[in-house]
Structure 1
Amino acid sequence: MRHIEAHVPGDAGLPEGRRWAVAHVETSGTRLTSDRVIGLCILVLGGDGMVEDEYATAIDPGPDFGLGSLHHRLRDRLAGAPHFEDVTDRVVDLLHGRTLVAYDASTHYGFLDGEFRRADIANPIVSRLCVRTLSRRLELDVPNLQLTSLAEHWGIERRPMGDKARDEADLVARVFLSTLGLADSLELPLPVVECVANKAGAPRLSRRVPCPWVNPGRFDPGVGLVQGTKVAIIGTTKTPRDALERKLALAGLDVMSTAGSHVGLVICNDRTSGSTEVSRLLDDGISVIPEKTLERLLESVLPGIPRTKPEQDGWTALPAVDEASPERAHPERPVETASTDSIDAVASADPVPTSLAEQPTVPSFVDNPWQNRHILVIGGTHEDAAAMRSKIARLGGTPAINLSAAVTDLLVLGGDGRDRKTVTIGGRELPVLTPEILKEANENEAMHSDIVQRRPGVRSLARGEVVDLHMDDTQVSIHASWRADSTRDGIIVDIVGFMLSEENSVNCDEDFVFYNFPSRDDGAMALTVDGNCEQSIHIDLKALPDNCVRIAIAAAIEGTATFGQLGPVAVKVEASEQPEAEFVLDAGTTERTMVLCEVYRRANRWRLRAFGQGYDSGLDALATLYGVDVK
């Protein structure tokens, strides 16, 4: 056995009650639906941090390398390596009943889950922990959350272990052990996600190919097939399904993974195999034909209209946001314009500003001494705490919702500890502020302060504010989190995403990403759940279809609980893996759904707006508002 040292003082032992295994998975690409595992390393940790067992191997996925670009080089590298089904006994033995620890755990778990499905073996992993999410929850003083930055923060040097997967697993394990002491001192629960074991059996791994033709609408038997028609397949096929989908794609048809109201044609050889679904499609006026009829139609597919992408030539670096810009102060299409027949809009005491006069004035980001301060509000009523957090945001500071390494001040309401100057938490002396300090602070001028700025901050937004994303920011991640102890109250929150057209509506049901449909086949938008009180939406701006001009990110609470019971929701935005902005939404009372923010296209730019519009209705009503067929 070998010991993986932790780079923090104190006991490096692992929390009791779980069995831990660190893993790193190498893949042929990034898409869970098509790419394959080509290597892995698993380190089984004992309670004292010792490596009790370890296993590393290359994996030959066979002739199917997925869509990875390293196809030819991988062939030579993986020659002679075992197939995944050849090593499943060893892998299952190492992972059975354990919590999987990985950097970007949802992705590593997803790829392993896909391989277990192909091998017709039940997934042995019971839960997972994401090291990146744990580091985000701790709010470490790092420029970004890349693994190399986290290792540098803890003073960890990469050491060669013989192959890439083993090197990465060793580094992840040491970063993980180093974070445990800090999490314990801050009394922050670890972001462990319970995994629902998937049933054994090969998954439906659709490989949707981006279609270069404009959707002509529904299939018309009098006209024939037209390139760009959206086609879905139900049930078994005579031609192998993958081969049939490739044939359709080569003919210029847009092959969909689901058969909803957005499709123009459905292929089904046996209508009785999915009678309810087929009947619904027929009632909606969608043609359902057998494979034999399709073969005849494919002989003469009519040419479609090529898609055109927005002009990208001549883009320049974006200027800083003009605080006084009327365009910046005026949301051009607020969600609350929806008909009250479909959803009940809630009148908030702090509405999204609609004129320059109402726009919150925030002190200069450069000269404002509040900008680097993360202030945790303790005690008081929900209304008083919300008012104080709103004040902090208007001053340019950041309201904290959990105690973390980034917290610089405590604001105590209700008299408990108000006469104390500092409090020692997590080995640090934190100043204790009073409500009077914030009430006296001038929102239009930077206030002098003797509190040392400990941590460089990112842009803290007030509700309704807009910032520009730079032209090279193609990968945008929206991370939403809430109180770490909210799960004790039985409150369940779901983060969802809508890809919207100019009409503020989804173009098809695949434009709605949620817990039962966590990612689009083209990778344009994906949901990840990497903690018990945080979820993320990842957007690939380059992969977005031309008709998508806006992405709305929302939160929905299951059951009858409300945002007044949940408390504040913190949103952190990363663009191209760099911190871009953060804000806290804390005006919720009786609402059950809330649009947190929007990423939208404006004059060849992508912009981000902190939104915070809440509704009393549930997620089904919000989805209907955005044009989703909730049936």
Structure 2
Amino acid sequence: MIVGTSQGMIPASMSSRYRQGYAVVDVETSGLSPASHRVLQVAISQIAPDGSSERTWSTLLDPGCNPGPVHIHGLTRERLAGSPQYADVAAEVADLVDGRILVAHNAQFDWNFLAAEANRGNAPLTVDSRLCTMALTRRLDLPLPNLKLESVAAYWGVPQLAAHDAVDDTRVLVEVLRHSLVAADRLGLALPLTPCDGPPPVVYPAAPARPPCRWVYAGRWTPSTPLVQGMKVVFTGETRIPRETLTARAAAAGLDVMSSASSRTSVVVCPDPGYRTRKLEAARSHGTPVVSEEEFLRLLAQVAPGTDKSAASSRATISRCPTPADTVSQVPSPQEGVPSLVAPSRVASPHVAPPSAAPVRRGPLTGHRVLVLGGPHTDAAALRTRVGLAGGQAAANFTSSVTDIVALDGADADPRWHRGRAVGLQFLVPETLLPVPSPAQAAGATGLGEAESWPAEGALGTARAGIAAAVPEPVVLPRGGVVDLPSGDSWSLGVCWADGAATYPDDVAEVDVVAFVTDDGEEVGGDDDFVFFNAPTHRSGAVALELDLPGEVLVTIRPEALPAATRRVIVAATVADGKAFGDIGPIELTLRDDDGATLARATLDAATEEQSLIIATLYQRGDRWRFRAVGQGYASGLASLAVRHGVDIDED
């Protein structure tokens, strides 16, 4: 079968490089927790290694619970009524995904929900690995405003007809997968596959959705005053009255019942203040009042009127407030002597006010991403520093954003050198960082064979170029550089290193990325403020590590959830197996907002013999959060690094 995309024919080399079949999946759910929420709709499309479609299947499901965010997925109780339960279709789902790579946009979410449903139905799924199209898009480094499915689809020219409908989302994902695989094959990339192993997920009965609150948030509760409609209430511990009854009574009185405590929680209800729960720990860290069940029942009898959201919305006016420009400063480093930088203006996500324009440091390589290949680490690192001084950014991996290659001695032993020649990238002279004279460059280009028809020129190429042009250049931080961050619910720091598994599969050093939640003195409050491979999520949920992507770790930071006394997150990396960072090469950092829009980048490779490296720090200064690219190395390993930040390491 001949398979094509909107950009031309799919080259035969794709199915030779990626030989596995795929099961493209999308689920719509009643909430965000696979342990207690349920799948309401599932769609699966089987795709062969050559990109051709095989079998497509979908169904609605009625698990008998509250469908949750109907305003997002449109799946009402009435629409789901009469649909099968997951147990009725478990065998069908298992057959469709059996032995294939499961593909989804944010694949961890879809896999966790399907695995939880399979566990409930005692019908395990035989899937060895999954492929996240968000991770693949990051690996390709496409010029996108964010990582949402609609943005990725628009870049590849795939129309969305019904967002958050599993059937249409799967159709879109099939096309996104085809385009992405062709692009990955063109660059010779290994796919970022994640194993689907581990014990079956713990599951609970489906919980009812949180009752909606019609009243505007009324702030914190002050003791000796009445509760006010719109105040946020959290229950914890074993209450005398069933939790469901308390929740219903609180909601009926106009209170907003939450499932977790944060800095916006008005009051926490606990029958015994001696309990040790996460909610109580969070409440105490934020200074949130805690009352007994009896006290809450007395307060519930006299709740003061609040402000109706609909009335407040009708009175609201739109105003434009001035926003200070994001600034970048640098802590000078003896190796660099780089002057201070100022961040460029950027088109922010809708919930972030764009900063005003500011000048940026320019040079002959501004807008270029340069890959340095070959040579000893010290020579390559010095070249990457020169690239930064010339206004460019050094790249750790070969991606679609790489514009130039600098080849040092031995570069031709690296497969990326040959791929760079094949796709016709510009090569730079190491001594001058000027383009290689055109006759030599022309002689180096070998042509792409079947891949020459991809991507196609014309309307789609013009549209994609328009998308790329609208994406602002991110802030590029030198070692020690600092940038103020726009407000947001969370940030994601991607930590990547050279894709050794694809380049030199027999000589891959293991990199461990860890985080410390500390005070301003960079000391942890307790051992559980150390976030690492055996404890990848902080007790508050404010910091989490995603560790199952080859050559990449994602560090998610949710600032609102951080305990009040620990408003600093230090991200570090260590190298195992007797290696040092000189064996790893550059570490590339990409900081994104909660939509996936790129806020800042940095490339760090000053470390040579060091075994541990402070990568970055996110910290609060006044009412603003800042991000610093650090790059401070130490000769000792992970244990010494942890002790340095106050972690008590068991030496037994």
TM-score for both structures, normalised by structure 2: 0.68
Matched with 1:170 is: 171
Which residue number corresponds to residue 136 of structure 1? 138
Structure 2 residue 610 is the aligned partner of structure 1 residue 591: yes
Whole-angstrom CA distance in 2 between matches of 1:33 and 1:520: 19
Counterparts of 1:53 and 1:523, CA distance in 2: 39
Give yes or no for contact 2:236–2:270 (8 Å, CA) kept in 1: no
State whether residues 195 and 548 of structure 2, in contact with CA within 8 Å, keep that contact through their aligned partners in structure 1: no
**More moved, 70-79 vs 494-503:** 70-79
Residue 325 of structure 2 aligns with which residue? 319
**CA positional deviation for 1:176:** 1.0
Q: Which runs of no fewer than 5 residues in structure 2 stay unpaired?
A: 211-219, 223-232, 248-258, 261-267, 284-291, 299-319, 343-358, 435-467
Structure 1 position 135, deviation (Å): 1.6
Residue in structure 2 matched with residue 478 of structure 1 by the alignment: 493
The answer on whether the counterparts of 1:191 and 1:530 sit within 8 Å (CA) in structure 2 is: no
Which residue of 1 is the match for residue 537 of structure 2? 519
Q: Which residue of 2 aligns with 1:600?
A: 619
**Mapping for residues 202-213 of structure 1, pairs under 5 Å:** 202=203
Q: What are the superposed Cα offsets for residues 342-382 of structure 1, whole Å, 9 maximum, x if unpaired?
A: xxxxxxxx6799xxxx5645596264442211011111111
> Structure 1, residues 559-584: CA drift from partner, whole Å, max 9, x if none?
33222211111111112421111111
- SS of the residue corresponding to residue 547 of structure 1 reads coil
Determine the structure 1 residue equivalent to 2:115: 113
1: CA distance between counterparts of 2:295 and 2:405?
A: 71
- Residue 311 of structure 1 is matched in structure 2 by none
Aligned length: 525
C-alpha change, 1:196 and 1:42, in structure 2 (3 Å) is same
The structure 1 residue matched to 2:431, chosen from 436, 439, 456, is 436
Alignment of 1:74-89 (within 5 A): 74-89=76-91
Separation in 1, partners of 2:2, 2:565: 55
Deviates more, 1:390-399 or 1:515-524: 515-524
Q: How does 1:42-53 map to 2 (within 5 A)?
A: 42-53=44-55
Query: Aligned equivalents of 1:398 and 1:85: distance in 2?
Result: 52
CA distance in 2, matches of 1:24, 1:625: 45
Q: Is the CA contact (8 Å cut-off) linking 1:131 and 1:176 kept in structure 2?
A: yes
Residue 535 in 1 paired to residue 553 in 2?
yes
2:369 aligned partner = 374
Q: Take 2:134 and 2:557, find their aligned partners in 1: how far apart are those partners?
A: 18
- Tell me if structure 2 keeps the 8 A contact 1:497–1:553: yes
C-alpha displacement at 1:257, in angstroms? 6.7
In the TM superposition, what whole-angstrom CA distance separates every residue of 1:226-246 from its partner, at most 9, and x where no partner exists?
Answer: x99998x9xxxxx99999999
Structural mapping, 1:110-509, within 5 Å: 110-159=112-161, 164-199=165-200, 202=203, 250-251=270-271, 256=277, 317-321=323-327, 323=329, 329=331, 360-361=339-340, 365=360, 367-414=362-409, 425=420, 428-438=423-433, 457-471=473-487, 473-486=488-501, 488-509=506-527
Offset, 1:168: 0.8
Mapped contact 1:518–1:528 kept (Cα < 8 A)? yes
Q: Which amino acid in the other structure matches residue 539 of structure 1?
A: I
Single out whichever of 602-611 and 140-149 deviates more from structure 2: 140-149
The alignment's C-alpha RMSD in Å is 4.6
Q: Which amino acid aligns with 1:251?
A: P
Please say which of residues 67-76 and 3-12 is displaced more in the overlay: 67-76
**8 Å Cα contact 1:230-1:255 kept in structure 2:** no
Residues 1:597 and 1:386: Cα distance change in structure 2 (over 3 Å): same
The 3 A distance-change label for structure 1 pair 465 and 117 is same
Q: Work out whether 1:7 is the aligned partner of 2:7.
A: yes
Identity of aligned residues (%): 32
Residue 136 of structure 2 aligns to which amino acid in structure 1?
A: L
SS at match of 2:592: strand
Aligned to 1:102: 104
Residue 427 of structure 1, CA deviation: 6.0
How far off is 1:615 after superposition? Answer: 2.7
Once the two structures are TM-superposed, the CA of residue 477 in structure 1 deviates from its matched residue by: 1.0
Distance 2:152 2:478 in 1: 29
Aligned to 2:214: none
Q: SS of 1:30's equivalent?
A: coil
- Asked if the contact 2:103/2:133 (under 8 Å) is kept, the reply is yes
* C-alpha separation in 2, matches of 1:408 and 1:197: 40
Aligned to 1:575: 593
Unmatched 5+ stretches in structure 1:
215-226, 234-238, 265-296, 304-313, 331-349, 440-453
**Worse-superposed segment, 381-390 or 72-81:** 72-81
Q: Alpha carbons of 1:68 and 1:485: their partners in 2 closer, same or farther (altered >3 Å)?
A: farther
Which whole-Å CA distance do the structure 2 matches of 1:588 and 1:170 have between them?
46
Q: How far apart, CA to CA, are the structure 2 residues paired with 1:405 and 1:167? A: 27
Q: Tell me the distance in 1 between the aligned counterparts of 2:120 and 2:612.
A: 37
Does the 8 Å contact 2:405/2:420 carry over to 1?
A: no
Q: 1:251, 1:71 → 2: CA distance?
A: 37
* Offset, 1:87: 2.3
Deviations 1:500-541 (A, max 9, x none): 233423345554433333335764333224631112112223
With the length of structure 1 as denominator, give the TM-score of the two structures. 0.70
